[in-house]
Amino acid sequence: MAGMGTDTATATHVSYLGGYIFLSYVISSMGCATTLELLHRRTSRSGFYNWYDMTRLCKSTRDD
């Protein structure tokens, strides 16, 4: 097509540091454990009603 430049794609070198990847897994696991502990403490008295309430809240705030 007229006026369009030619494709001049070049390969980019990508590298990852293993320590950062491992650290991200550790931090994610800690966040997951903390979230589950907080959910457990919140729902320990009311049981399934709180789980239902939180599920309903999550579905109502979605932007889909």
pLDDT tens track for 13-61:
889 999 999 999 999 999 988 888 887 777 666 677 777 777 787 777 6
- Is residue 52 situated within a structural domain? yes
- Is residue 40 situated within a structural domain? yes
One-letter amino acid for residue 42 of the chain = R
Contact 29, 36 (CB under 8 A): no
Please state, in angstroms and as integers, the Cα–Cα distance from residue 25 to each residue in 22, 39, 47, following that order: 5, 21, 30
- Is residue 7 situated within a structural domain? no
- Is residue 29 situated within a structural domain? yes
Q: Give the residue numbers spanning the domain of 35.
A: 18-60
Q: What is the pTM of this model?
A: 0.48
- What tokens were used for 3? 């006026």
Report the domain count for the chain. 1
- Is residue 11 situated within a structural domain? no
pLDDT tens track for 13-24:
889 999 999 999
The whole-angstrom separation of Cα 56 and Cα 50 is: 10
- Is residue 5 situated within a structural domain? no
Contacts of 51 (CB under 8 A, 6+ apart): 43
- Is residue 44 situated within a structural domain? yes
- Is residue 9 situated within a structural domain? no
